[in-house]
Protein backbone atom coordinates (compact mmCIF):
# COMPACT_ATOMS: atom_id res chain seq x y z
CA UNK A 1 0.00 0.00 0.00
CA UNK A 2 1.14 3.51 -0.75
CA UNK A 3 1.20 6.38 1.70
CA UNK A 4 -2.20 8.05 1.93
CA UNK A 5 -0.94 11.40 0.63
CA UNK A 6 0.44 9.79 -2.52
CA UNK A 7 -2.86 8.11 -3.27
CA UNK A 8 -4.76 11.29 -2.48
CA UNK A 9 -2.48 13.34 -4.74
CA UNK A 10 -2.96 10.85 -7.54
CA UNK A 11 -6.76 10.97 -7.20
CA UNK A 12 -6.73 14.77 -7.25
CA UNK A 13 -4.33 14.92 -10.21
CA UNK A 14 -6.25 12.43 -12.34
CA UNK A 15 -9.73 13.77 -11.60
CA UNK A 16 -8.89 17.48 -11.77
CA UNK A 17 -7.04 17.02 -15.08
CA UNK A 18 -9.89 14.94 -16.45
CA UNK A 19 -12.43 17.54 -15.29
CA UNK A 20 -10.46 20.39 -16.92
CA UNK A 21 -10.31 18.53 -20.22
CA UNK A 22 -13.97 17.54 -19.93
CA UNK A 23 -14.92 21.20 -19.34
CA UNK A 24 -12.91 22.21 -22.41
CA UNK A 25 -14.91 19.69 -24.44
CA UNK A 26 -18.27 19.72 -22.68
CA UNK A 27 -18.90 23.47 -22.34
CA UNK A 28 -18.45 24.24 -26.08
CA UNK A 29 -20.37 21.08 -26.99
CA UNK A 30 -23.23 21.95 -24.65
CA UNK A 31 -23.27 25.53 -25.94
CA UNK A 32 -23.45 24.35 -29.51
CA UNK A 33 -26.28 21.97 -28.66
CA UNK A 34 -28.20 24.74 -26.85
CA UNK A 35 -27.86 27.13 -29.78
CA UNK A 36 -28.16 24.61 -32.63
CA UNK A 37 -31.24 24.42 -34.78
CA UNK A 38 -34.05 22.42 -33.32
CA UNK A 39 -34.09 19.50 -35.72
CA UNK A 40 -30.69 17.92 -35.17
CA UNK A 41 -30.66 18.80 -31.53
CA UNK A 42 -33.20 16.34 -30.22
CA UNK A 43 -31.26 13.24 -31.20
CA UNK A 44 -27.91 14.61 -30.05
CA UNK A 45 -29.36 15.76 -26.75
CA UNK A 46 -30.64 12.23 -26.21
CA UNK A 47 -27.14 10.89 -26.88
CA UNK A 48 -25.68 13.33 -24.35
CA UNK A 49 -28.31 12.52 -21.76
CA UNK A 50 -27.64 8.81 -22.26
CA UNK A 51 -23.94 9.51 -21.83
CA UNK A 52 -24.72 11.06 -18.45
CA UNK A 53 -26.17 7.73 -17.34
CA UNK A 54 -23.57 5.31 -18.73
CA UNK A 55 -22.10 3.25 -15.89
CA UNK A 56 -18.45 4.02 -15.31
CA UNK A 57 -17.50 0.35 -15.55
CA UNK A 58 -18.85 0.32 -19.08
CA UNK A 59 -16.69 3.32 -19.96
CA UNK A 60 -13.76 1.58 -18.30
CA UNK A 61 -14.34 -1.60 -20.23
CA UNK A 62 -14.54 0.17 -23.58
CA UNK A 63 -11.45 2.29 -22.88
CA UNK A 64 -9.53 -0.78 -21.68
CA UNK A 65 -10.48 -2.74 -24.80
CA UNK A 66 -9.07 0.10 -26.89
CA UNK A 67 -5.91 0.50 -24.82
CA UNK A 68 -5.04 -3.16 -24.15
CA UNK A 69 -1.91 -4.33 -25.91
CA UNK A 70 -4.09 -6.38 -28.22
CA UNK A 71 -6.42 -3.38 -28.80
CA UNK A 72 -6.31 -0.84 -31.62
CA UNK A 73 -4.49 1.76 -29.48
CA UNK A 74 -2.30 -0.75 -27.67
CA UNK A 75 0.91 0.68 -29.09
CA UNK A 76 0.39 3.89 -27.13
CA UNK A 77 1.02 1.84 -23.95
CA UNK A 78 -1.63 3.76 -22.02
CA UNK A 79 -3.24 0.83 -20.21
CA UNK A 80 -2.51 0.89 -16.45
CA UNK A 81 -1.24 4.46 -16.59
CA UNK A 82 -2.56 7.71 -15.13
CA UNK A 83 -3.03 9.06 -18.64
CA UNK A 84 -5.24 6.12 -19.52
CA UNK A 85 -7.31 6.80 -16.39
CA UNK A 86 -7.63 10.46 -17.34
CA UNK A 87 -8.95 9.48 -20.77
CA UNK A 88 -11.60 7.28 -19.16
CA UNK A 89 -12.61 9.97 -16.66
CA UNK A 90 -12.87 12.58 -19.43
CA UNK A 91 -15.34 10.28 -21.17
CA UNK A 92 -17.24 9.91 -17.89
CA UNK A 93 -17.34 13.62 -17.00
CA UNK A 94 -17.76 15.18 -20.45
CA UNK A 95 -21.37 14.08 -21.13
CA UNK A 96 -22.40 15.33 -17.69
CA UNK A 97 -20.79 18.72 -18.28
CA UNK A 98 -22.23 18.92 -21.78
CA UNK A 99 -25.70 18.11 -20.53
CA UNK A 100 -25.68 20.58 -17.64
CA UNK A 101 -24.18 23.31 -19.86
CA UNK A 102 -26.91 22.75 -22.42
CA UNK A 103 -29.63 22.87 -19.79
CA UNK A 104 -28.07 25.95 -18.19
CA UNK A 105 -27.96 27.90 -21.44
CA UNK A 106 -31.45 26.82 -22.40
CA UNK A 107 -32.69 28.22 -19.10
CA UNK A 108 -31.58 31.71 -20.11
CA UNK A 109 -34.29 33.99 -21.54
CA UNK A 110 -34.93 32.59 -25.04
CA UNK A 111 -34.87 36.06 -26.62
CA UNK A 112 -31.38 36.79 -25.24
CA UNK A 113 -29.34 35.47 -28.22
CA UNK A 114 -31.43 37.47 -30.68
CA UNK A 115 -31.15 40.61 -28.56
CA UNK A 116 -27.39 40.24 -28.39
CA UNK A 117 -27.19 39.73 -32.15
CA UNK A 118 -29.35 42.82 -32.67
CA UNK A 119 -26.89 44.77 -30.52
CA UNK A 120 -24.17 43.77 -32.99
CA UNK A 121 -22.49 40.93 -31.07
CA UNK A 122 -20.50 38.54 -33.23
CA UNK A 123 -20.52 34.80 -32.55
CA UNK A 124 -17.64 34.86 -30.07
CA UNK A 125 -19.05 37.84 -28.17
CA UNK A 126 -22.45 36.18 -28.12
CA UNK A 127 -21.12 32.93 -26.67
CA UNK A 128 -18.91 34.67 -24.10
CA UNK A 129 -21.87 36.78 -22.98
CA UNK A 130 -24.07 33.71 -22.65
CA UNK A 131 -21.40 31.92 -20.62
CA UNK A 132 -21.16 34.90 -18.28
CA UNK A 133 -24.94 34.90 -17.89
CA UNK A 134 -24.93 31.15 -17.23
CA UNK A 135 -21.82 31.05 -15.02
CA UNK A 136 -23.72 29.60 -12.06
CA UNK A 137 -24.91 26.47 -13.91
CA UNK A 138 -21.54 26.23 -15.72
CA UNK A 139 -19.75 25.99 -12.37
CA UNK A 140 -22.32 23.44 -11.28
CA UNK A 141 -21.45 21.46 -14.41
CA UNK A 142 -17.75 21.48 -13.52
CA UNK A 143 -18.52 20.41 -9.95
CA UNK A 144 -20.76 17.58 -11.09
CA UNK A 145 -18.11 16.44 -13.55
CA UNK A 146 -15.41 16.43 -10.91
CA UNK A 147 -17.64 14.71 -8.38
CA UNK A 148 -18.47 11.98 -10.86
CA UNK A 149 -14.83 11.52 -11.89
CA UNK A 150 -13.28 11.44 -8.42
CA UNK A 151 -15.87 9.08 -7.00
CA UNK A 152 -15.92 6.47 -9.70
CA UNK A 153 -14.21 3.16 -9.14
CA UNK A 154 -15.19 1.08 -12.16
CA UNK A 155 -12.97 2.60 -14.82
CA UNK A 156 -10.21 3.40 -12.33
CA UNK A 157 -9.93 -0.31 -11.58
CA UNK A 158 -10.21 -1.61 -15.12
CA UNK A 159 -8.10 1.03 -16.86
CA UNK A 160 -5.78 1.93 -13.97
CA UNK A 161 -5.35 -1.50 -12.43
CA UNK A 162 -4.89 -0.17 -8.86
CA UNK A 163 -1.13 -0.70 -9.21
CA UNK A 164 0.58 0.39 -6.01
CA UNK A 165 2.93 3.32 -6.48
CA UNK A 166 1.62 3.95 -9.98
CA UNK A 167 -2.14 4.00 -10.51
CA UNK A 168 -3.71 3.36 -7.13
CA UNK A 169 -6.30 6.03 -6.33
CA UNK A 170 -8.61 6.64 -3.37
CA UNK A 171 -11.59 4.64 -4.62
CA UNK A 172 -9.55 1.62 -5.68
CA UNK A 173 -7.74 1.70 -2.31
CA UNK A 174 -11.08 1.50 -0.56
CA UNK A 175 -12.14 -1.51 -2.61
CA UNK A 176 -8.79 -3.17 -1.99
CA UNK A 177 -8.97 -2.62 1.76
CA UNK A 178 -12.48 -4.01 1.92
CA UNK A 179 -11.21 -7.04 -0.02
CA UNK A 180 -8.54 -7.55 2.61
CA UNK A 181 -11.04 -7.21 5.42
CA UNK A 182 -9.34 -4.02 6.58
CA UNK A 183 -12.49 -2.00 7.10
CA UNK A 184 -10.81 0.55 9.38
CA UNK A 185 -8.29 1.51 6.71
CA UNK A 186 -11.09 1.59 4.13
CA UNK A 187 -13.05 4.00 6.32
CA UNK A 188 -10.01 6.24 6.71
CA UNK A 189 -9.65 6.42 2.93
CA UNK A 190 -13.38 7.00 2.56
CA UNK A 191 -13.23 9.88 5.03
CA UNK A 192 -10.28 11.48 3.26
CA UNK A 193 -11.95 11.10 -0.13
CA UNK A 194 -15.05 12.82 1.24
CA UNK A 195 -12.86 15.60 2.64
CA UNK A 196 -11.20 16.04 -0.77
CA UNK A 197 -14.56 16.25 -2.53
CA UNK A 198 -15.84 18.61 0.13
CA UNK A 199 -12.84 20.94 -0.10
CA UNK A 200 -12.87 21.23 -3.86
CA UNK A 201 -16.62 21.68 -3.98
CA UNK A 202 -16.47 24.24 -1.17
CA UNK A 203 -14.07 26.34 -3.23
CA UNK A 204 -16.18 26.03 -6.37
CA UNK A 205 -19.39 26.67 -4.47
CA UNK A 206 -18.04 29.85 -2.90
CA UNK A 207 -17.03 31.09 -6.37
CA UNK A 208 -20.44 30.11 -7.68
CA UNK A 209 -22.36 31.80 -4.91
CA UNK A 210 -20.30 34.96 -5.20
CA UNK A 211 -21.08 34.94 -8.92
CA UNK A 212 -24.75 34.44 -8.15
CA UNK A 213 -24.79 37.29 -5.63
CA UNK A 214 -23.15 39.56 -8.18
CA UNK A 215 -25.75 38.59 -10.72
CA UNK A 216 -28.57 39.60 -8.41
CA UNK A 217 -27.12 42.96 -7.41
CA UNK B 1 -32.03 -4.48 22.29
CA UNK B 2 -34.36 -7.44 22.66
CA UNK B 3 -34.92 -9.65 19.67
CA UNK B 4 -38.05 -11.43 20.76
CA UNK B 5 -40.16 -9.86 18.04
CA UNK B 6 -42.54 -11.28 15.44
CA UNK B 7 -40.93 -12.79 12.37
CA UNK B 8 -41.85 -9.91 10.11
CA UNK B 9 -40.26 -7.45 12.49
CA UNK B 10 -37.18 -9.64 12.72
CA UNK B 11 -36.70 -9.40 8.99
CA UNK B 12 -36.86 -5.62 9.19
CA UNK B 13 -34.48 -5.51 12.11
CA UNK B 14 -31.97 -7.72 10.39
CA UNK B 15 -31.68 -5.02 7.77
CA UNK B 16 -30.19 -2.71 10.36
CA UNK B 17 -26.92 -4.58 10.58
CA UNK B 18 -26.07 -5.87 14.02
CA UNK B 19 -29.10 -4.24 15.58
CA UNK B 20 -29.38 -7.14 17.97
CA UNK B 21 -25.75 -7.46 18.97
CA UNK B 22 -25.02 -10.79 17.35
CA UNK B 23 -25.61 -10.54 13.66
CA UNK B 24 -27.67 -13.51 12.65
CA UNK B 25 -26.33 -14.16 9.19
CA UNK B 26 -29.39 -16.13 8.21
CA UNK B 27 -32.13 -13.88 9.48
CA UNK B 28 -32.79 -11.43 6.70
CA UNK B 29 -34.94 -13.61 4.47
CA UNK B 30 -37.48 -16.32 4.86
CA UNK B 31 -35.58 -19.52 5.57
CA UNK B 32 -35.52 -22.20 2.90
CA UNK B 33 -35.63 -25.58 4.58
CA UNK B 34 -32.95 -25.51 7.24
CA UNK B 35 -32.20 -21.85 6.79
CA UNK B 36 -29.57 -19.77 5.15
CA UNK B 37 -25.87 -19.80 5.62
CA UNK B 38 -22.96 -17.80 4.32
CA UNK B 39 -20.01 -19.56 2.76
CA UNK B 40 -16.96 -17.29 2.69
CA UNK B 41 -14.42 -18.51 0.23
CA UNK B 42 -11.56 -17.24 -1.85
CA UNK B 43 -11.70 -15.58 -5.22
CA UNK B 44 -9.65 -18.43 -6.66
CA UNK B 45 -12.28 -21.07 -5.89
CA UNK B 46 -15.01 -18.83 -7.21
CA UNK B 47 -13.12 -17.89 -10.39
CA UNK B 48 -12.45 -21.55 -11.20
CA UNK B 49 -16.20 -22.21 -11.42
CA UNK B 50 -16.01 -25.14 -8.97
CA UNK B 51 -18.49 -23.60 -6.54
CA UNK B 52 -21.02 -22.87 -9.26
CA UNK B 53 -21.00 -26.60 -9.83
CA UNK B 54 -20.99 -27.79 -6.22
CA UNK B 55 -23.11 -25.32 -4.27
CA UNK B 56 -26.44 -25.83 -6.10
CA UNK B 57 -26.08 -29.59 -5.56
CA UNK B 58 -25.45 -29.11 -1.86
CA UNK B 59 -28.47 -26.84 -1.60
CA UNK B 60 -30.70 -29.44 -3.23
CA UNK B 61 -29.46 -32.25 -1.01
CA UNK B 62 -29.34 -30.43 2.31
CA UNK B 63 -32.18 -27.94 2.15
CA UNK B 64 -29.77 -25.24 3.26
CA UNK B 65 -29.74 -22.04 1.27
CA UNK B 66 -26.15 -20.97 0.61
CA UNK B 67 -24.93 -17.48 -0.04
CA UNK B 68 -21.39 -17.60 -1.37
CA UNK B 69 -19.13 -14.63 -0.72
CA UNK B 70 -15.87 -14.75 -2.68
CA UNK B 71 -13.19 -12.61 -1.07
CA UNK B 72 -9.50 -12.87 -0.23
CA UNK B 73 -8.59 -15.50 2.38
CA UNK B 74 -7.79 -12.61 4.74
CA UNK B 75 -11.29 -11.22 4.51
CA UNK B 76 -12.86 -14.68 4.60
CA UNK B 77 -11.15 -15.40 7.93
CA UNK B 78 -12.09 -11.94 9.17
CA UNK B 79 -15.75 -12.59 8.28
CA UNK B 80 -15.56 -15.85 10.17
CA UNK B 81 -14.00 -14.21 13.19
CA UNK B 82 -16.83 -11.69 13.35
CA UNK B 83 -19.43 -14.39 12.90
CA UNK B 84 -20.54 -12.92 9.57
CA UNK B 85 -19.92 -16.24 7.83
CA UNK B 86 -20.94 -19.74 8.86
CA UNK B 87 -18.45 -21.84 6.98
CA UNK B 88 -15.14 -21.04 5.27
CA UNK B 89 -13.35 -22.67 2.37
CA UNK B 90 -9.88 -21.11 2.39
CA UNK B 91 -6.24 -21.74 1.60
CA UNK B 92 -3.97 -19.86 3.99
CA UNK B 93 -2.69 -22.70 6.22
CA UNK B 94 -0.79 -20.48 8.65
CA UNK B 95 -3.57 -17.91 9.02
CA UNK B 96 -6.06 -20.78 9.34
CA UNK B 97 -4.06 -22.28 12.20
CA UNK B 98 -4.08 -18.92 13.95
CA UNK B 99 -7.84 -18.72 13.41
CA UNK B 100 -8.30 -22.16 14.99
CA UNK B 101 -5.91 -21.36 17.85
CA UNK B 102 -7.96 -18.24 18.54
CA UNK B 103 -10.98 -20.45 19.12
CA UNK B 104 -12.95 -19.11 16.15
CA UNK B 105 -13.47 -22.46 14.46
CA UNK B 106 -15.22 -25.67 15.46
CA UNK B 107 -13.43 -27.91 13.00
CA UNK B 108 -10.94 -27.68 10.15
CA UNK B 109 -10.64 -30.42 7.56
CA UNK B 110 -8.59 -30.89 4.43
CA UNK B 111 -10.75 -30.73 1.30
CA UNK B 112 -8.51 -30.60 -1.72
CA UNK B 113 -5.41 -29.02 -3.12
CA UNK B 114 -4.46 -27.46 -6.35
CA UNK B 115 -1.07 -26.11 -7.19
CA UNK B 116 0.45 -22.77 -7.86
CA UNK B 117 2.32 -22.08 -11.05
CA UNK B 118 4.66 -19.33 -12.15
CA UNK B 119 3.52 -17.77 -15.40
CA UNK B 120 5.05 -15.05 -17.51
CA UNK B 121 5.65 -13.73 -20.99
CA UNK B 122 6.53 -16.32 -23.64
CA UNK B 123 9.93 -14.65 -24.23
CA UNK B 124 10.81 -15.46 -20.59
CA UNK B 125 13.39 -12.66 -20.16
CA UNK B 126 14.56 -13.96 -16.77
CA UNK B 127 14.93 -17.47 -18.18
CA UNK B 128 12.97 -19.17 -15.39
CA UNK B 129 11.76 -22.08 -17.49
CA UNK B 130 13.26 -25.22 -16.08
CA UNK B 131 13.82 -23.78 -12.61
CA UNK B 132 13.33 -26.65 -10.18
CA UNK B 133 11.39 -24.63 -7.61
CA UNK B 134 9.46 -21.43 -7.28
CA UNK B 135 12.17 -19.97 -5.04
CA UNK B 136 14.77 -20.53 -7.77
CA UNK B 137 12.46 -18.95 -10.39
CA UNK B 138 11.83 -15.93 -8.14
CA UNK B 139 15.57 -15.52 -7.57
CA UNK B 140 16.18 -15.34 -11.31
CA UNK B 141 13.32 -12.85 -11.77
CA UNK B 142 14.67 -10.58 -9.01
CA UNK B 143 18.23 -10.78 -10.31
CA UNK B 144 17.06 -9.71 -13.74
CA UNK B 145 14.59 -7.19 -12.21
CA UNK B 146 12.03 -8.50 -14.70
CA UNK B 147 8.49 -7.17 -14.05
CA UNK B 148 6.59 -9.26 -11.51
CA UNK B 149 2.92 -8.67 -10.67
CA UNK B 150 2.03 -9.26 -7.04
CA UNK B 151 -1.56 -9.42 -5.85
CA UNK B 152 -0.57 -7.57 -2.68
CA UNK B 153 -4.05 -8.18 -1.24
CA UNK B 154 -3.24 -10.47 1.68
CA UNK B 155 -4.99 -13.31 -0.11
CA UNK B 156 -3.85 -16.91 0.20
CA UNK B 157 -1.99 -16.58 -3.09
CA UNK B 158 -0.30 -13.40 -1.93
CA UNK B 159 0.69 -15.04 1.36
CA UNK B 160 2.13 -17.91 -0.66
CA UNK B 161 4.05 -15.51 -2.89
CA UNK B 162 5.57 -13.76 0.12
CA UNK B 163 6.64 -17.06 1.65
CA UNK B 164 8.43 -17.94 -1.61
CA UNK B 165 10.26 -14.59 -1.63
CA UNK B 166 11.21 -15.22 1.97
CA UNK B 167 12.50 -18.69 1.14
CA UNK B 168 14.53 -17.16 -1.68
CA UNK B 169 15.96 -14.59 0.76
CA UNK B 170 14.73 -11.65 -1.30
CA UNK B 171 12.75 -8.60 -0.27
CA UNK B 172 11.03 -7.60 -3.49
CA UNK B 173 10.88 -3.85 -4.09
CA UNK B 174 11.38 -1.45 -6.94
CA UNK B 175 9.57 -0.48 -10.08
CA UNK B 176 9.76 -4.02 -11.45
CA UNK B 177 7.61 -5.27 -8.54
CA UNK B 178 4.04 -4.37 -9.51
CA UNK B 179 1.50 -4.54 -6.68
CA UNK B 180 -2.06 -4.74 -7.97
CA UNK B 181 -4.07 -5.18 -4.79
CA UNK B 182 -6.61 -7.22 -6.75
CA UNK B 183 -7.90 -10.70 -7.40
CA UNK B 184 -6.14 -13.41 -9.37
CA UNK B 185 -7.98 -12.92 -12.65
CA UNK B 186 -7.32 -9.17 -12.70
CA UNK B 187 -3.69 -9.64 -11.69
CA UNK B 188 -3.14 -12.19 -14.46
CA UNK B 189 -4.62 -9.76 -16.98
CA UNK B 190 -2.37 -6.97 -15.71
CA UNK B 191 0.67 -9.27 -15.82
CA UNK B 192 -0.15 -10.22 -19.39
CA UNK B 193 -0.48 -6.61 -20.44
CA UNK B 194 2.69 -5.54 -18.64
CA UNK B 195 4.75 -8.57 -19.78
CA UNK B 196 5.24 -9.43 -16.15
CA UNK B 197 5.66 -12.71 -14.31
CA UNK B 198 3.20 -13.67 -11.62
CA UNK B 199 2.29 -16.46 -9.25
CA UNK B 200 -1.13 -17.95 -9.91
CA UNK B 201 -3.14 -20.95 -8.91
CA UNK B 202 -3.48 -23.30 -11.86
CA UNK B 203 -7.27 -23.18 -11.89
CA UNK B 204 -7.61 -19.44 -12.29
CA UNK B 205 -4.86 -19.40 -14.91
CA UNK B 206 -6.70 -22.04 -16.96
CA UNK B 207 -10.09 -20.42 -16.40
CA UNK B 208 -9.07 -16.86 -17.31
CA UNK B 209 -9.55 -16.00 -20.95
CA UNK B 210 -7.53 -13.76 -23.22
CA UNK B 211 -4.26 -14.10 -21.36
CA UNK B 212 -0.95 -13.37 -23.02
CA UNK B 213 1.03 -15.57 -20.61
CA UNK B 214 2.77 -18.96 -20.66
CA UNK B 215 3.05 -21.51 -17.88
CA UNK B 216 6.75 -21.50 -17.05
CA UNK B 217 7.29 -23.28 -13.71
CA UNK B 218 5.14 -25.88 -11.95
CA UNK B 219 5.49 -28.98 -9.85
CA UNK B 220 7.89 -27.65 -7.19
CA UNK B 221 7.13 -28.77 -3.65
CA UNK B 222 6.89 -25.10 -2.65
CA UNK B 223 3.95 -24.69 -5.03
CA UNK B 224 1.26 -26.80 -3.34
CA UNK B 225 -1.98 -25.05 -2.35
CA UNK B 226 -4.14 -26.90 0.19
CA UNK B 227 -7.76 -25.91 0.87
CA UNK B 228 -9.50 -26.50 4.18
CA UNK B 229 -13.13 -26.22 5.20
CA UNK B 230 -13.69 -24.52 8.55
CA UNK B 231 -16.93 -24.58 10.51
CA UNK B 232 -17.15 -21.24 12.32
CA UNK B 233 -17.63 -21.07 16.07
CA UNK B 234 -19.91 -18.36 17.33
CA UNK B 235 -23.40 -17.33 18.33
CA UNK B 236 -25.82 -16.93 15.47
CA UNK B 237 -23.86 -19.28 13.26
CA UNK B 238 -26.02 -21.74 11.36
CA UNK B 239 -24.07 -24.66 12.78
CA UNK B 240 -26.34 -27.33 11.33
CA UNK B 241 -25.91 -26.14 7.76
CA UNK B 242 -22.23 -25.30 8.19
CA UNK B 243 -21.49 -28.78 9.56
CA UNK B 244 -23.61 -30.35 6.83
CA UNK B 245 -21.56 -28.49 4.23
CA UNK B 246 -18.25 -29.58 5.77
CA UNK B 247 -19.43 -33.21 5.90
CA UNK B 248 -20.79 -33.02 2.38
CA UNK B 249 -17.73 -31.51 0.72
CA UNK B 250 -15.46 -34.11 2.34
CA UNK B 251 -17.79 -37.01 1.46
CA UNK B 252 -16.49 -39.62 -1.05
CA UNK B 253 -19.03 -38.64 -3.73
CA UNK B 254 -18.23 -34.93 -3.63
CA UNK B 255 -14.52 -35.67 -3.46
CA UNK B 256 -14.80 -37.74 -6.61
CA UNK B 257 -16.61 -34.90 -8.29
CA UNK B 258 -13.94 -32.40 -7.24
CA UNK B 259 -11.30 -34.66 -8.78
CA UNK B 260 -13.22 -34.72 -12.04
CA UNK B 261 -13.94 -31.01 -12.19
CA UNK B 262 -12.34 -29.22 -15.10
CA UNK B 263 -11.18 -32.27 -17.05
CA UNK B 264 -13.85 -31.83 -19.69
CA UNK B 265 -12.99 -28.19 -20.32
CA UNK B 266 -9.24 -28.01 -19.71
CA UNK B 267 -8.10 -31.58 -20.28
CA UNK B 268 -6.78 -31.78 -16.72
CA UNK B 269 -8.31 -31.59 -13.26
CA UNK B 270 -8.05 -28.26 -11.46
CA UNK B 271 -8.23 -29.68 -7.94
CA UNK B 272 -7.04 -32.89 -6.30
CA UNK B 273 -9.22 -34.33 -3.50
CA UNK B 274 -7.55 -34.53 -0.10
CA UNK B 275 -10.25 -35.57 2.37
CA UNK B 276 -9.56 -38.78 4.25
CA UNK B 277 -13.20 -39.79 3.83
Instruction: Tell me the per-residue pLDDT of B20-39, one tens digit each, with 9 for 90 and over.
Output: 333 333 333 334 467 889 99
By the 8 A CB rule, do B113 and B227 touch?
A: yes
Q: B181 and A173: CB-CB below 8 Å?
A: yes
A31 compared with B21, residue with greater pLDDT: A31
Predicted local confidence at residue A215, as pLDDT: 63
Residues of A with CB under 8 A from a CB of B: 1, 68-70, 79-80, 157, 161-166, 168, 172-173, 176, 178-181
Q: Give the tens place of pLDDT for each residue, B254-272.
A: 999 999 998 888 888 889 9
Q: A168 and B181: CB-CB below 8 Å?
A: yes
- For B151, which residue in chain A has the nearest alpha carbon? A163
CB atoms under 10 Å from CB of B258, counted, come to: 25
Q: Which chain B residues are Cβ-neighbours of A85 within 8 angstroms? A: none
Q: B186 and A181: CB-CB below 8 Å?
A: no
By the 8 A CB rule, do B152 and B180 touch?
A: yes
For A83-113, give one letter per residue: b (16+ CB within 10 A) or e.
bbbbbbbbbbbbbbbbbbbbbbbbeeeeeeb
Predicted local confidence at residue B11, as pLDDT: 40
A76 secondary structure, DSSP code: G
User: Sorting pLDDT into bands at 50, 70 and 90, what band is B277?
Assistant: low
Q: A179 and B180: CB-CB below 8 Å?
A: no
- For A68, which residue in chain B has the nearest alpha carbon? B193
Nearest to A180 among B74, B175, B193 (CB): B74
Q: B190 and A80: CB-CB below 8 Å?
A: yes
When pLDDT is averaged across residues A30-58 and rounded to a whole number, the result is: 87
Q: Does residue B10 carry a pLDDT above 70?
A: no
Cα torsion A194, A196, A199, A204: sign: negative
Predicted local confidence at residue A213, as pLDDT: 77
Residues of B with CB under 8 A from a CB of A: 71-72, 74-79, 152-154, 175, 178-183, 186, 190, 192-194, 210, 212
Q: What is the nearest CA distance from A7 to chain B, expressed in angstroms?
A: 13
Q: Give the tens place of pLDDT for each residue, B91-149.
A: 888 899 999 999 999 999 999 998 899 999 999 999 999 898 999 999 999 999 999 99
A216 compared with B249, residue with greater pLDDT: B249
Q: Which chain B residues are Cβ-neighbours of A1 within 8 angstroms? A: 152, 181
In sequence order, which residues have a C-beta less than 8 Å from that of residue A215 and are 6 or more positions away? A135, A136
Q: B181 and A179: CB-CB below 8 Å?
A: yes
User: Sorting pLDDT into bands at 50, 70 and 90, what band is A216?
Assistant: low
Q: A161 and B179: CB-CB below 8 Å?
A: no
SS (H, E, C) A24-66: HHHHHHHHHHHHCCHHHHHHHHHHHHHHHHCCHHHHHHHHHHH
Q: How far apart are CA B46 and CA B73, in angstroms?
A: 12
Q: B210 and A70: CB-CB below 8 Å?
A: yes
Q: Which chain B residues are Cβ-neighbours of A69 within 8 angstroms? A: 192-193, 212
Query: How does the average pLDDT of chain A come out, rounded?
Result: 90
Q: A180 and B212: CB-CB below 8 Å?
A: no
Beta-strand relationship, B214-217 and B105-120: antiparallel
By the 8 A CB rule, do B225 and B134 touch?
A: no
Q: Does residue A191 carry a pLDDT above 90?
A: yes
Nearest to A163 among B79, B179, B212 (CB): B179
Q: Does residue B184 carry a pLDDT above 60?
A: yes
Q: How far apart are CA B104 and CA A13, in angstroms?
A: 44
Q: Does residue A179 carry a pLDDT above 80?
A: no
Q: Does residue A99 carry a pLDDT above 50?
A: yes
Q: Which chain B residues are Cβ-neighbours of A179 within 8 angstroms? A: 71-72, 75, 153, 181-183
- For B73, which residue in chain A has the nearest alpha carbon? A180
Q: A180 and B154: CB-CB below 8 Å?
A: yes
When pLDDT is averaged across residues A162-184 and rounded to a whole number, the result is: 87
- For A70, which residue in chain B has the nearest alpha carbon? B193
Predicted local confidence at residue B21, as pLDDT: 34
Nearest to A80 among B78, B79, B194 (CB): B194
Amino acid sequence: MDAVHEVLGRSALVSLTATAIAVAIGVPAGTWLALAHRRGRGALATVVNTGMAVPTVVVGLVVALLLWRSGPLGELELIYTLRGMIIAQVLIAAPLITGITMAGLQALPPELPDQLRALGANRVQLVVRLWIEARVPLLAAAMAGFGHAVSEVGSATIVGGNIHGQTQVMTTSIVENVGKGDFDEALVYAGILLALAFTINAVLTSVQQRAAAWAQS
Amino acid sequence: MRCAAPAALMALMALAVGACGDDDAGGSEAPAGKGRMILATTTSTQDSGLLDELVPRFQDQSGCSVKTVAVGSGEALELGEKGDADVLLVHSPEAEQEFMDGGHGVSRDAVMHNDFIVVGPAEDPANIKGAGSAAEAFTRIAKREAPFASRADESGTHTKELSIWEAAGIEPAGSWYIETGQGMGETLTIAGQKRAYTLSDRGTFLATDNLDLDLLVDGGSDLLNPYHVIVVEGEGVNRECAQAFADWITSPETQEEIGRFGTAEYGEPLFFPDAKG
